[in-house]
Chain A
Amino acid sequence: MIAILIDGIVQGLQLSLMAVGITLIFGLGGVLNLAQGQFAVVGGIVAALCIKAGVPALAACALGILGAGLLGLVVDRTLLIPAYRCVGEERLLLGLLITLGLSFVVNGFLDYKYSDVSLGLRLATPSFDVAGITIRTASMAVAAIAIVAFALLFAFLKTTLLGKVIRSIIQNEVGAELCGINPARIRTVIVVLSAMMAGLGGIAQGLFSSLGPEMGNGLTDYALIVAVVGGVRSINGTLAAGVLLGIINAFASYYVGAYLTLIILLGTAVFTILLRPAGLFASHP
């Protein structure tokens, strides 16, 4: 029972890692990034390729994350410009369609060129026992990574100037401009940051089980659900929603099987959106 709970929390944390990027880009850039999962896959594949080339695992992962960030930079400075030129719903729709197209481009490319590449990281000690429960080391590693990442993110947003600027733009873009802040430049920072978080999520997936080029869309779908349930503008909400959905997923899988679990999860998501479109935990980022 505890083992399932732990599994659920860990999976949830990993989902939150993926989802927080969507929340950030939506809250700040006003764009729904449907290519988020692809950033994760790119990160994972870059890391896998580096490992194949003989680079030590840790460095390879770092390179993977940087690779994802680089892709995010390129996308923001090129593809998303037409979306940024619009405002409000127009921007949302255009951004959604552009990123959807991008997800196909990346997915198609990776599937074609690297369909045999996958990221699977194995740790020295596969598992250890605590109080009679066997815990996978990988689970702990993923949990640790996610917790540290989120802690850093929260600290960054709360204490640094850039973090405050980001929060200010999410809360009121006009107000931020009144202070002399250039929202466009900050948007780029956010997209790169989100892409790197996704890359980290991809690495975590590689630790937890394995990551292949075909997984991009699935990851995006889950990240989307977590982000929307948690509140597309609330980072706290995303974290909470991810863990919650992860726990539900773990318990439901154990008791009722894969398909019904998915339906329960998806149904929960739809139910939440209809009930509280702003998100379950929407109040502040």
Chain B
Amino acid sequence: MPQIDTIRQVSEVVWEIPTSYKPGMLVPAKIYATKRLLDGMDAGVFEQVTNLACLPGIVRSAYAMADAHWGYGFPIGGVAAFDTETGVISPGGVGFDINCGMRLIRTNLRYQEVRTKVKELVDLMFRLVPAGVGVKGTLRISESQFEEVMKYGVKWCAENDLAWEDDPNHVEEGGFIKGADPSKVSRQARSRGIDQLGTLGSGNHYLEIQVVDPIRFFDHDLSRHFGIVEEDQVVVMVHCGSRGFGHQVGSDYLRVFDGAMKRYGISVRDRELACAPFSSKEGKDYYGAMVCAANMAFTNRQVIVQRVRDAFSKVFHRDAEALDMHLIYDVCHNVAKVERHSYDGVNAEVLVHRKGATRSFGPGHHDIPAPYRDVGQPVIIGGSMETGSYLLVGTEKAMEDTFGSTAHGSGRTMSRTAAKREVRGAELQRKMLERGIYVKSATMDGLAEEAGLAYKDISEVVETMDIAGISKKVVALRPVGNIKG
């Protein structure tokens, strides 16, 4: 980290940079990190989280979670809430991969039943779930059906035999965010997205077979609520988003906002933070288009899960129902949503931007589906393909402290270029196999870029959030088979 004289330690894992740090800061910036994680954070995190604190209408604090790293505009791992009347909305605060998120499905299989079939499963899923540069999916839909996808997400899937009956109840927002306005989506965005449903994409996106880690099984009671009942149980995790559709929506509106800021007398420290009042025409148009992309992302992950169910069913010669392949949950980690929160003595609707951050609503919240409402929402934290992932649970403390938000992953510490210098894809693939992880990737360069050494220690990230109380550990998940886009 850079030398910041005014940073103050608020608690064991919470640090605050006051408004005096930089001219224009309207609120302080809070960073969730152990001292070690804080020292390891790049200068971009501090610059960017304090830039957020300057945006019009931000309330209470700008936040960087323990996985924070230098992004574009917002830091990855950034959270900011805005007054819905006086505040702004920022496409850069959502990111181009609108509603990039995580999905976790369970099985009733144990590792000993799957171990010899991991290669067959991964190879089959690699064929069924296209991954890599410019891939197209196998699902063909009409333009009018694509509009239904934009409006109704997983609900559309349920009506078209692409979801199980209870799937929508196990997705954040019930599988679709209200307020989609397809008329605000460009022709180019539609062209990029219409044939990409059911595709994984590239970068850090993956589809992974995982095993419940017997050593890091933290809370058996809570895990049972989520359908994880035993050690070595096999689950499948999906990480991807809205593909070219969302990327184009983000690009289109970044240009619109870049030009509109002058009109609203807004200046920002980084053009990627281009924003407009949420109540403005541009703000409303972007929100309507962004929700379309968010719903497309929910649908994309849903189609992928159907393919995963097909693959397991084929390999194990049993229906996916018989394998109990129910959805545990699906969380967004790149999105802006209107939510009601209590802060600074008021209870009001705010527009919460989470960019590389996960909603972490605590017990009793009405937005949590009935089966989980008493315990809090499942929070899915994806790690690198070598180190594994975590299932956590949302907390009341997150509602009090961070607008119901926590981290989203392990966070990078090394650039893609540097990672490729450190390790070659083929060598990494071989070493992972020796450690019991079969990985198949669309590109060897891409594989090397996602090596575990390029990421922070996910356990320390998760521990930090647990100590802060904004999400609590349930169980760790160990990778055994991975498809990397």
Indicate, yes or no, whether A interacts with B.
no
